[in-house]
Each structure stands twice: as C-alpha cells, then as structure tokens.
Amino acid sequence: DAGSSWAATAGAGDVLAGIAGSLLAAGRSPQEAGAWAARVHAHAALLASRGAPIGASALLAALRPAIREFATGRTAAETPTPPR
C-alpha cells in the first residue's frame, strides 16, 4: 500500500512501464523488475503528491529522489505520509 491513489492519472502507467522496461533491459528477471518498478513507482507518487493530485510529469520528476532513497537504504515505510 503506497498510502495514496494520486498516481491513478493519465500517463502514470507509462511511467511504470518505463521503469519496468529499464529494469528488464538491465537484466533483471520479470518478477524482480515488476516488483521493484511497482515499489519505486508508488514511492515516487508518494513523494510527488504531497497530499494533492499529481500528473505524470510530477511523478517522473520524483523518480530520481525515490530511487536515491532506496539506494541509500531509506524505504517508503520510513517516509512520513503526507496529509490527505
């Protein structure tokens, strides 16, 4: 559960597919690529939303910070949920 449904917007699925495709191209298994893509996508949506609706461009802009947080060991569970 990402804590927000703000990623349910036009273009968000394209962002998710791009993440998964990148991971597949990097040699990850389909299961691993799908799981990580969903996790990063959900965390990016949480970072981008800040309690308000977002578009795909805001979601895309939040990908780098989301990936950075995973790379440094910070998980979505440690990120405070913004007010709704």
Q: What pLDDT, in 10s, does the model give residues 16-51?
A: 999 999 999 999 999 999 999 999 998 899 888 887
Domain boundaries, the chain: 12-78
Q: Pick the more confident residue, 7 or 46.
A: 46
pLDDT of residue 8: 77
Dist CA 34 CA 26 (whole Å): 13
What percent of the chain is helix, strand and coil (3-state, nearest 5)? 60, 0, 40
Cβ-based neighbours of 76, under 8 Å, separated by 6 or more: 2, 39, 42, 43, 46
How many of the other CB atoms lie within 10 Å of CB of 8?
11
pTM score over 0.75 = yes
Residue 6's SS3 state is coil
